[in-house]
Chains A and B, each alone.
Chain A
Amino acid sequence: MNITRGFTGRPRTENAGLPPGQYDAGDDWPVLSAEVTPELTVADWSFRIDGLVDEPRTWDREAARTLPASAYTGDIHCVTGWSKFGVRFGGVSLDAFLERVRPHGSATHAVAYSHTGYTTSLPLADLTGGRAWIAFEYEGRPLPAEHGGPARLLVPHLYFWKSAKWIAGLTLLDHDEPGFWEQNGYHARGNPWEEQRYSGD
Chain B
Amino acid sequence: MTETAAKATAAVAFAPPTRFAVPGRVAVAGEAAAVWQTATITGVRRETPHASTFRFAVPGWAGHLPGQHLMLRLTAGDGYAAQRHYSLASAPDDSGHIELTLDHVVDGEVSGWFHTVARPGDTVEVRGPLSGFFAWPGDRPALLLGAGSGVVPLMSMVRHHRARALDVPLRMVVSARSPEELIYARELGPETTTVFTRAAPRGVPVGRMAATHVAPLLAEQPAGGWEAYVCGSNGFAEHASRLLVAAGQPVDRIRIERFG
A-to-B contact residues, CB < 8 Å: 1-10, 12, 21, 23, 28, 30-38, 80-82, 111, 113-119, 121, 146, 168-169, 171, 175-185, 188, 197-201
Give me the 10 closest cross-chain CB pairs, A-B, nearest first.
A117-B21, A200-B34, A185-B28, A113-B16, A30-B260, A199-B30, A6-B117, A31-B234, A4-B74, A177-B14
CA distance A179 to B255 in the complex (A): 17
Query: Smallest CB-CB separation from B38: which chain A residue?
Result: A2
When the two chains form their complex, are residues B82 and A188 in contact, meaning their CB atoms are under 8 A apart?
no
When the two chains form their complex, are residues B133 and A3 in contact, meaning their CB atoms are under 8 A apart?
no
Given contacts A178-B9, A185-B132, contact A34 B30 (CB under 8 A): no
Residue among B8, B11, B14, B71 with max Cβ neighbours from chain A (10 Å): B14
When the two chains form their complex, are residues A176 and B134 in contact, meaning their CB atoms are under 8 A apart?
no
Say if the beta carbon of B89 comes within 8 Å of chain A. no
Across the interface, B5 reaches (CB within 8 A) one of A4, A35, A199, namely A199
When the two chains form their complex, are residues B18 and A2 in contact, meaning their CB atoms are under 8 A apart?
no
Across the interface, B14 reaches (CB within 8 A) one of A4, A34, A38, A111, namely A111
When the two chains form their complex, are residues B74 and A9 in contact, meaning their CB atoms are under 8 A apart?
yes
Residue among A30, A113, A199 with max Cβ neighbours from chain B (10 Å): A199
When the two chains form their complex, are residues A3 and B34 in contact, meaning their CB atoms are under 8 A apart?
no
Binary contact readout B229-260 vs A (1 if CB under 8 angstroms, 0 otherwise)? 00000100110011011000001101111101
Across the interface, A4 reaches (CB within 8 A) one of B18, B113, B238, namely B113
A18 to chain B, nearest CB (A): 12
CA distance A197 to B73 in the complex (A): 14
CA distance A197 to B70 in the complex (A): 13
Residues from chain A with a CB closer than 8 A to the CB of B79 are 1
Residues from chain B with a CB closer than 8 A to the CB of A118 are 16, 21
CA distance A114 to B18 in the complex (A): 8
When the two chains form their complex, are residues A8 and B5 in contact, meaning their CB atoms are under 8 A apart?
no
When the two chains form their complex, are residues B19 and A117 in contact, meaning their CB atoms are under 8 A apart?
yes
Interface of B is mostly: mixed
When the two chains form their complex, are residues B254 and A8 in contact, meaning their CB atoms are under 8 A apart?
no
When the two chains form their complex, are residues A184 and B19 in contact, meaning their CB atoms are under 8 A apart?
no
Across the interface, B133 reaches (CB within 8 A) one of A8, A34, A111, namely A34
Binds A, one of B122-130, B141-149, B162-170, B197-205: B122-130
CA distance A12 to B43 in the complex (A): 31
When the two chains form their complex, are residues B16 and A35 in contact, meaning their CB atoms are under 8 A apart?
no
Given contacts A3-B77, A31-B258, A200-B34, contact A188 B251 (CB under 8 A): no
Q: Please name 10 pairs of A and B residues whose Cβ atoms are closer than 8 Å in the assembled complex, sorted by A.
A: A9-B82, A23-B109, A33-B258, A36-B256, A80-B85, A82-B260, A113-B14, A117-B19, A117-B22, A175-B7
A155 to chain B, nearest CB (A): 17
Interface size class for chain B? 35 or more
Residue among A37, A80, A185 with max Cβ neighbours from chain B (10 Å): A185
When the two chains form their complex, are residues A176 and B251 in contact, meaning their CB atoms are under 8 A apart?
no
Interface of A is mostly: loop
Say if the beta carbon of B223 comes within 8 Å of chain A. no
When the two chains form their complex, are residues A9 and B80 in contact, meaning their CB atoms are under 8 A apart?
yes
Given contacts A7-B75, A9-B82, A184-B133, contact A34 B22 (CB under 8 A): yes
When the two chains form their complex, are residues A115 and B8 in contact, meaning their CB atoms are under 8 A apart?
no
Residue among A5, A80, A114, A201 with max Cβ neighbours from chain B (10 Å): A5
Given contacts A32-B258, A117-B252, A198-B33, contact A188 B4 (CB under 8 A): yes
When the two chains form their complex, are residues A37 and B238 in contact, meaning their CB atoms are under 8 A apart?
yes
Residues from chain B with a CB closer than 8 A to the CB of A171 are 14
When the two chains form their complex, are residues A7 and B33 in contact, meaning their CB atoms are under 8 A apart?
no
When the two chains form their complex, are residues B19 and A115 in contact, meaning their CB atoms are under 8 A apart?
yes
Given contacts A36-B254, A114-B16, contact A30 B234 (CB under 8 A): yes
When the two chains form their complex, are residues A21 and B75 in contact, meaning their CB atoms are under 8 A apart?
no
When the two chains form their complex, are residues A200 and B33 in contact, meaning their CB atoms are under 8 A apart?
yes
Residues from chain B with a CB closer than 8 A to the CB of A176 are 4, 7-8, 11
